[in-house]
Each structure stands twice: as C-alpha cells, then as structure tokens.
Amino acid sequence: MSEPFVFDPRCELCKAPFGAVRCRQSVLFCVRPLAREGFTHCALVIHLEFSGLREEHELHCDGPEGDRLRFSMTLDAPQQPELLWYHFRFWREDGSGCDLDGSGYRSDGFPADWQLTVYDDSHPTPRWFGEGITYQIFPDRFCRLSVPDPAGMVGDRMVHENWEDTPDWRPDETGAVRNRDFFGGSLQGIASRLAELEQLHVTTLYLCPVFESASNHRYNTADYTKIDPMLGTEEDFRFLCAQAETHGIRVILDGVFNHTGSNSVYFNAEGFYPTVGAAQSQDSPYFNWYTFHPWPDDYEAWWGIRTLPAVNESSASYGAFIADGENSVIRRWLRAGASGWRLDVADELPDEFLARLRSAVDTAKPGSILLGEVWEDGSNKIAYSKRRKYLLGSETHGLMNYPFRTAALAYLQGGDACSFVQAMETIRENYPPPAFYSAMNFLGTHDTARILTVLGAPTVPESKAERADFLLSPNQRTEGLALLRVAAALLYAFPGSPMIYYGDEAGMEGWEDPFNRGTYPWGKEDQALRAFYVRLGQLRHSRVSLRRGDIRYLYAAGSGLAFSRSWEDETTTAVFNAGREPLTMEVPWVFSAARDFLTGRAFSPVDGVLKLELPPRTALLII
C-alpha cells in the first residue's frame, strides 16, 4: 500500500539543494500526497529558532503526477543565520486536514519538524584542515629526550624514571587522583619525531595543553602566557612550529578557556605565585574572572571539581586577556607559530565568547582554524537551556566529530551499516558543508579508551585495578587488529580530517584515563599496523577525491557498507565487511578497471558492476 505522502528532505526531487543552505539562498520544496486523499491545499509551516518568528507559506499545486498531486514552492532562506524548523499542513475544501512532519503522517497537532540549517558563509573555512590528516599528542607521554627535574615547578610533581611505567591511578590519602606524576615528554622531543609523522602524511599536529599547569594533563591552566617548563620554552614552541612547517605540518593548540587551575597565577589558592590571585584578595585584578558565593571558599567550579574554578567569560578583562587584546592569548600564540585552536568543552563557552574567539583567530592569522569539542550533533545542541550557534558562521569552523566515532563503533561491533549511514547522513544534512568537510573525525582521543582495546576486549573490566593491569590476550589482540584495520580505512575514507590519537597506529592499548595516556612505545611499535596507517596516508595524500570529494552511499546492509567519494573525474570507492562471516556485495562501477589500493588486487567489472567476495573483517579502497 502506498504511503499517503512522499517527502524526503535528503532527496533532490523533494528538497534542493541538499542539507544546510547559505543565508538568502533559494530552497525548492516539493511534496506529493496521494490524489485520493482529496487535499486541495498545502502550506509550508516554519518556525525560526532564534528570531522566534512563525510563518506559513502556501505551496502551488502543480497538478497530478500519476496517482499523486505535486505541491511545490521556492523559499528564500533568511538573511541572518537561523535554525529553521518546518512541516507541511494539508487541507481539503471542507477545512479538514493533517500535518506531515519528520515522524511521518500525523494529525495530532504536534509536529516533529524537519531541520534546515541556514548559515553565513561570508568568512570562509580554510580547506587545509579537513583535507589533511591530524595527529593528536598528549605532550607528557609522546617523546622525552632526558629525565627532567621538577624542582621549582608549580604543583607537587614527581617524574617516572622508567618510561614504560603505568601512569598513577590510585587515589591519595584524601581520595583524590592528583595527576601529578609526569613522564617528561617535551616539545623538543616532538620536534625530534617530525620525520615519523611526515611518513604518516600528517598535516596537522594537535597538541593537548602545553601551558604551565600543576597536572600532567595540563587542563588546569596555571599561566596562559608560558609553556610548561617541563615541556620547554616559548622558543622551543616556536622552533617546533617552524620545523613542523618544513615537514608540511601545521600545529594547533588546545584552548582551555572555561576554567583555570586553582593553583594558578589567576586564582592562586595555594599561594605558589607571588602575584595576588582571586582566592587571596577581592582586590585582585582577576577577582571578577570568577564567581564566589561567598568569597573565598565557595566558588563555581567545572563540574564541581574544586581544582578547576570556572571563569566568567563575560568579564571584560578576561575577554580582553583571552581574545580581544592586541596581545591576547589567542593572538599571541598564533603569532608564535600556531595555525589554530581546538576549544576544550566548547559547549560550555557562551556564544558571544565563541564569536570573540573566532574574530581573534580570523584577524590575527587569516586562514587559521577554530575547532570545538562538542560530543553531540553540534548543529542543534541545547546547552544550559539555550540552543547553540557553533556552526552558523561566526563561531567555530568545525567540531570534533564524536557522532562519527559513536556510529562507527556501533557498526564495527555488530551493528547494522544502515544505522551508520542514517547517523552520518543526519550530520551531513544538518551541518553546513564547510563544517561537515572540516570535522575532526577519530576513533579515540585522550578522553576515550584506546580503540584497539575497545575493539578487542569482549567486556569492560569492572574495577579500575583490573583495567590498570589489563592487556588483550593474543586472540583478542588479533581480533582487535583485524577490526582496527577496517575502522582505520573507514576513518581515512570518510569526509573530514582523520585524526590519529598518538600511538593508535603503533598498537597501544588501554582503558580510560589514565590508561589511555601511556607513553609512546618507541622501538616497540606494531610495525605492520603502522605500515598500514602509512599506506592509508599515502592514499589520502594522493587521491583528491578523498580530500575534497562528495560522498555517495552504494550499499548498507548488516555488516556490509560501501560508499564512493568523487571529485571531477576521479572516484575512490570504499568497501567494508565488518562482520565475522564472508559477504558478497555488488557495487556500481563505471570505469574499465578496478584495483584495491591496499593490496593491489585487481577486479573486473561486468556490465557496470563489481561483484565482490569479501572475507570477514575486510576493507577495500578501490581506485
């Protein structure tokens, strides 16, 4: 039996263009009800999120198409960035009718509307990030050249003599995990390994925080104007950026602007710094950066963690210090050699503050990138009871693509490929194209368990002690490595920048923090796995279709997934079987020959079709 209505916002016969549109861009809507339903009128009902306006536009009845009527109209998008929610209302001559919305045929008067993102494209997004390969480094754990002496540094630090030690995870006598154990990785150490990163075809080096801090993760900033002395000096940072450029690599920094450390120049709860902090005096120049109720012992802190006092981003002096001032933190480190910033907990930064950060980035070093940490669909997220504007043109250029990781893991661990496609098409539909193609895609970060451990382990150990000592068995590791190759190929083939969390390409294991933050196993890497990543990097580097191309899904059922990426006359087709059983798949192929880039295996198309016999845990990248 035919559906009463035909409308699919992802189909060009129903809505064009696909997905998000620019301000003032024209959008064609076409909807087709069955003629027997008797509808004579149709209206597009719109709610504009930020202006609060509600509009109703009657569509033109174009006449019958077979057993259906065709209603259509062209709508000019608003002149300002918006989230536009819409559904259709149908009625008959007698006034009876119903609504059609994102949940299908409904008549209860409460539509679940479709989303149309309207964005400002007057400040273009630089293409270099999304086209390239990113490598994330947790600086303390990547490479050390000598064992540092922590004497005189902020925080009660200790340094592991043995590079291969397990990071400390046990609480101290107060029940807190202090993260005060360091391994001594340095900026000079990173610079000494740039050749290895170039072999991986890395084009962007994303550094977790490098500024002076009391903890090894350095997300509790003590001084935004200084490199942590255990990592080196500002001169070392400038040298790293200059050397990276000679290897074709840009450097982006982690900006932690939602909170500082309690042991910092600005708060100074432990009195380490000679200046007067907000915890010491209400006359401190930093006092209005924080919110006390009352001063000095009760203050707002990030997620209630007292070592991370939250800042008041609306403070004029804080905004000038971080963003607006001529020598602001954003501008200073861009001038020192950075090419962009990744914003920690961007969803906890006010829109107005994010816009100031973006303005500082664009003016201080045009062509730099500003990325945000958001774990959900960033186009429509509500944070602190407010719909956010991250991707509408005046805030971030792109976001960390946690939805990609979530959908990829679900697929790789036995889910249906159709669910992966639906999740990713939702992101592609909702995100402005520049943001979709500039997303930071990944399988793991410093905030997640190691991807090899996730894919290889059947269950998560219950206790932290068990997780601390956990290693995959030989069989589990073999299983995890097979799936990781499929996962990595999917990562590199997908639109956006594939991001490697340091050591994933070397076969590192580990559950969540701090076990996912172990030291890089120099000299003990899984060389076969690393060679696979090098090969993926070669493909990404050589194929413009993987750097810039669109995406078209060719197959999605059960464990099988296939899509193509095309740019001009070049097409790369990615084919996957994530399951435990062999799979036969047919995909369209318009060229005379076909070859898997990863293995060199040749395929012969027949009548415009490639018939593929896929063993379990297989990835093909066909050119």
Q: What angle do helix axes 417-430 and 402-412 make, rounded to 10 degrees?
A: 170
Please give the average per-residue pLDDT across 211-232, as a whole number.
98
Q: d(Cα 432, Cα 398) in Å, to the nearest integer?
A: 9
Q: Is there a contact between 442 and 400 (Cβ–Cβ < 8 Å)?
A: yes
Number of domains in the chain: 3
483-494 pLDDT, tens per residue?
A: 999 999 999 999
The whole-chain average pLDDT of the chain stands at 96
| 3-class SS of residue 194 | helix
Torsion, Cα 513 514 520 524, to 10 degrees, reads -100
Q: Are residues 209 and 288 in the same domain?
A: no
Please give the average per-residue pLDDT across 392-416, as a whole number.
98
Looking up tokens 């816009």 gives 355
pLDDT band at 104 (very low <50, low <70, confident <90, very high): low
Cα 460 from chain centre: 24
Q: Are residues 342 and 242 in the same domain?
A: yes
Higher pLDDT, 116 or 590: 116
pLDDT band at 255 (very low <50, low <70, confident <90, very high): very high
Active-site residue, 228 included: no
Tell me the two tokens of residue 285.
């120049």
163 inside domain: yes
Tell me the two tokens of residue 531.
């060679």
- 525-549 burial, b at 16+ Cβ within 10 Å, e below that, comes to bbeebbebbebbbebbbebebbbbb
Q: What is the pLDDT of residue 2?
A: 76
131-169 pLDDT, tens per residue?
A: 999 999 999 999 999 999 999 999 999 999 999 999 999
The answer to whether residue 106 scores a pLDDT higher than 80 is no
Looking up tokens 């036995």 gives 414
Q: Are residues 283 and 381 in the same domain?
A: no
Please give the average per-residue pLDDT across 277-285, as a whole number.
98
- 453-474 burial, b at 16+ Cβ within 10 Å, e below that, comes to bbbbbeeeeeeeeebbeeebee
Q: Are residues 377 and 496 in the same domain?
A: yes
Please give the average per-residue pLDDT across 484-508, as a whole number.
98
Report which residue type is found at 422: Q
What Rg value do the Cα atoms of the chain yield, rounded? Answer: 26
Q: Are residues 35 and 113 in the same domain?
A: yes
Active-site residue, 344 included: yes
Listed residue (342, 249, 340) closest to 541, CA to CA? 249
Looking up tokens 């297989």 gives 618
Tell me the two tokens of residue 298.
């009760």
Q: Are residues 511 and 400 in the same domain?
A: yes
569 inside domain: no
Final residue of a structural domain among 119, 153, 181: 119
**Which one from 82, 344, 395, 509 is the annotated catalytic residue?**
344
Q: Are residues 182 and 95 in the same domain?
A: no
CATH code of the domain containing 58:
2.60.40.10
Final residue of a structural domain among 516, 542, 568: 542
Q: Are residues 139 and 51 in the same domain?
A: no
Q: Is there a contact between 396 and 354 (Cβ–Cβ < 8 Å)?
A: yes
**Which one from 101, 348, 373, 395 is the annotated catalytic residue?**
373
The answer to whether residue 405 scores a pLDDT higher than 70 is yes
Reading phi first (left if > 0) and then psi (alpha if -120 to 50, else beta), residue 312 is in beta
The answer to whether residue 109 scores a pLDDT higher than 60 is no
Q: d(Cα 149, Cα 572) in Å, to the nearest integer?
A: 51
The answer to whether residue 1 scores a pLDDT higher than 90 is no
Q: d(Cα 616, Cα 461) in Å, to the nearest integer?
A: 27
Domain that residue 144 falls in? 128-253+325-410+433-463+489-542
552 inside domain: no
Reading phi first (left if > 0) and then psi (alpha if -120 to 50, else beta), residue 255 is in beta
567 inside domain: no
- Burial of 191 per CB tally in 10 Å (0-12, 13-18, 19+): buried
Angle, CA 376 vertex, CA 374 and CA 382 arms, to 5°:
85
The answer to whether residue 479 scores a pLDDT higher than 80 is yes
Q: Are residues 238 and 354 in the same domain?
A: yes
Q: Is there a contact between 566 and 550 (Cβ–Cβ < 8 Å)?
A: yes
SS3 content of the chain, % helix, strand, coil (to 5): 25, 25, 45
CATH code of the domain containing 136:
3.20.20.80
pLDDT band at 336 (very low <50, low <70, confident <90, very high): very high
Sign of the Cα torsion 371, 246, 203, 260 reads negative
582 inside domain: no
Q: Is there a contact between 216 and 179 (Cβ–Cβ < 8 Å)?
A: yes
338-354 pLDDT, tens per residue?
A: 999 999 999 999 999 99
Q: d(Cα 413, Cα 460) in Å, to the nearest integer?
A: 14
Tell me the two tokens of residue 336.
């020192």
Q: Are residues 338 and 385 in the same domain?
A: yes
Q: d(Cα 492, Cα 441) in Å, to the nearest integer?
A: 9
491 phi, psi to nearest 5 deg: -60, -45
Q: Are residues 287 and 383 in the same domain?
A: no
Bond prior to 17 in cis (omega within 30° of 0): yes
454 inside domain: yes
Final residue of a structural domain among 245, 280, 312: 312
Say how many Å lie between the first and final Cα of the chain, rounded.
Answer: 41
302 phi, psi to nearest 5 deg: -65, 115
DSSP string, 577-619: E-SSS-EEEEEE--SS-EEBTTT--EE--BTTEEEEEE-SSEE
Looking up tokens 């740019």 gives 567
Sign of the Cα torsion 165, 168, 170, 174 reads positive
23-77 pLDDT, tens per residue?
A: 999 999 999 999 999 999 999 999 999 999 999 999 999 999 999 999 999 999 9
Q: d(Cα 281, Cα 618) in Å, to the nearest integer?
A: 63
379 inside domain: yes
Q: Are residues 496 and 442 in the same domain?
A: yes
Contacts of 86 (CB under 8 A, 6+ apart): 44, 45, 46, 47, 113, 114, 116
Q: Can you give the three-state secondary structure of 545-579, one letter per residue?
A: HHHHCCCEEEEEECCEEEEEEEECCEEEEEEEECC
Q: d(Cα 6, Cα 3) in Å, to the nearest integer?
A: 7
- 16-39 burial, b at 16+ Cβ within 10 Å, e below that, comes to eeebbbbbeeebebbbbbbeeeeb
pLDDT band at 175 (very low <50, low <70, confident <90, very high): confident
Q: Find residue 90's DSSP bridge partners.
A: 42, 98
Angstrom CA distances, 212 to 96, 271, 331, 520, stand at 68, 16, 18, 22
DSSP state of 301: B
Q: d(Cα 494, Cα 130) in Å, to the nearest integer?
A: 11
Cα 326 from chain centre: 30
